[in-house]
Structure 1
Amino acid sequence: MMKVWQTHCSVPIKSLVLELRSVEFLKSWEHAQSSTTYYDWMVRDFFAELIKKANSWHTIPGTSEKKQYGDTWLSKAQSAHGRAIKACEYELAGKQLSAATEWRKIFGGQYEF
């Protein structure tokens, strides 16, 4: 899903960074073992965690090489996070069309998850 966001919004972040962050995020996310009902929260919470990683460092698995995350992608992640918050609120209020509009702004309309 995050690679779809990366492509749809032209996010200047390495795919490897998204993969590494996704794996780490899911290891500690409180609803990781829950049903797909929580996908909206997962996306919202992932963006929040990703934002916290701006300009921090990560180690490439299997090596001791460290790379900086940078922050050229930060404003796009902040925008996506804000939209995900809105979408979650709309879903909670039963406003499915408004929620879908926000999700499309993040992921586009050509994919179904």
Structure 2
Amino acid sequence: MVRDWKYTSKVNVSGILIDTLAYRFLKDWKYKNESYIYYDWMSRDFFKYLKELDKSQIRWLVPGSDRYIYETNNFNYKATISYNKSLEAIEAEDKGYSSTSKSKWREIYGTKFPT
């Protein structure tokens, strides 16, 4: 899903950094053992995680290896935009506006999500 966000939102970040950040987020996410019904909260919380990362960080340890990846691209701004859209999508769904919610998710992920 995050790779679709990358392409839809034109985020300049490598796939290995996406994998690294997703791994770091998911290992501590409080709902990690729940079903797919939590994907909306997972998306919201992941974008919050991304937007709050230190903007000056350029080095990340790749999980399961002894190597670091270096990236200077800042994705916090686009993560903030997507975080705000995810809040709108969740609120719309809570109010019974499924089509509005779906539209907001598609602004974030493109046409693959939600199905």
TM-score by length of 1: 0.87
> Considering only aligned residues, what root-mean-square deviation do their CA atoms show, in Å?
1.8
User: Which one-letter code corresponds to 1:97 in the other structure?
Assistant: S
More displaced 10-residue stretch of structure 1: 100-109 or 55-64: 55-64
| Superposition map of 1:64-79 within 5 A | 64-65=67-68, 67-68=70-71, 70-71=73-74, 73-79=75-81
- CA distance in 2 between counterparts of 1:112 and 1:90 reads 14
Query: Is the partner of 2:4 in helix, strand or coil?
Result: helix
Name the counterpart of 2:23. 23
Aligned partner of residue 32 in structure 2, secondary structure:
coil
Report what 1:11 is aligned to: 11
Structure 2 distance, partners of 1:90, 1:97, is: 8
Contact 1:55/1:70 (8 A) holds in 2:
no
User: Partners of 2:105 and 2:60 in 1: how far apart?
Assistant: 29
Q: Specify the alignment match of 2:108 in structure 1.
A: 106
Instruction: Provide structure 2 residue ranges, at least 5 long, that are not aligned to the other structure.
Output: none
Deviation string for 1:14-57 (max 9, x for gaps)? 11111011111111111111111110000000000011223324
2:66 to 56, 60, 63: 63
SS of the residue corresponding to residue 98 of structure 1 reads helix
Q: Does 1:86 align with 2:88?
A: yes
Q: Aligned partners of 2:114 and 2:97: how far apart in 1?
A: 19
Give aligned-pair identity as a percent.
26
What's the counterpart of residue 35 of structure 1?
35
**How many Å separate the matches in 2 of 1:11 and 1:66?**
17
**In structure 2, what residue type is equivalent to 1:96?**
S
Tell me, in whole angstroms, the C-alpha distance in 2 between the residues paired with 1:45 and 1:111. Answer: 17
